Amino acid sequence: MELPGGVKLKTLIVEDNATYRGLLKESLESLFPAMAIQEAMEGKEALQRVESFRPELVFMDIRLPGENGLQLTHRIKTSYPDTKVIILTSYDTVEYRQAAAQCGASSFMAKDALNFGQVETLVNSVLSGPNKPL
């Protein structure tokens, strides 16, 4: 996916599970060949990548070693308010959705719902408009 002017959309995947991270990266590369993707396994690495890579889109796991994904989302959105964050979790609960919204997440995706169609729809909807309720 390209932004206006032919610039590649920069995406960061923050996920400690290497298998899931790889599957999500493969899905994104297949759906959006012009997407530039970097990865991080934990909070400190994620913040370093956000500062150096400046992604427009972040896929953020809630449960990470060290700082959790909700805290990281809040920190990223405070410093980079235009960055869109999609929360990933194995626990699709109302409480997590509310917490994600309070931290500034643009959207929420249950990990077990990973399929090409949903990923494509989610990315397009997050990038095409203002934040909607989770």
What is the reported pTM?
0.88
Q: Which CATH class is domain 7-128?
A: alpha beta
10-residue mean pLDDT profile of the chain (134 residues): values are 62 95 92 92 96 96 92 96 92 90 91 76 73 47
Look up residue 5 and give its DSSP letter.
G
Inter-axis angle of helices 18-31 and 116-128, nearest 10: 70
Task: Give pLDDT, residue 113.
Answer: 67
Task: Give pLDDT, residue 78.
Answer: 96
Task: Give pLDDT, residue 43.
Answer: 93
> What are the two backbone dihedrals, phi and then psi, of residue 113, each rounded to the nearest 5 degrees?
-95, 10
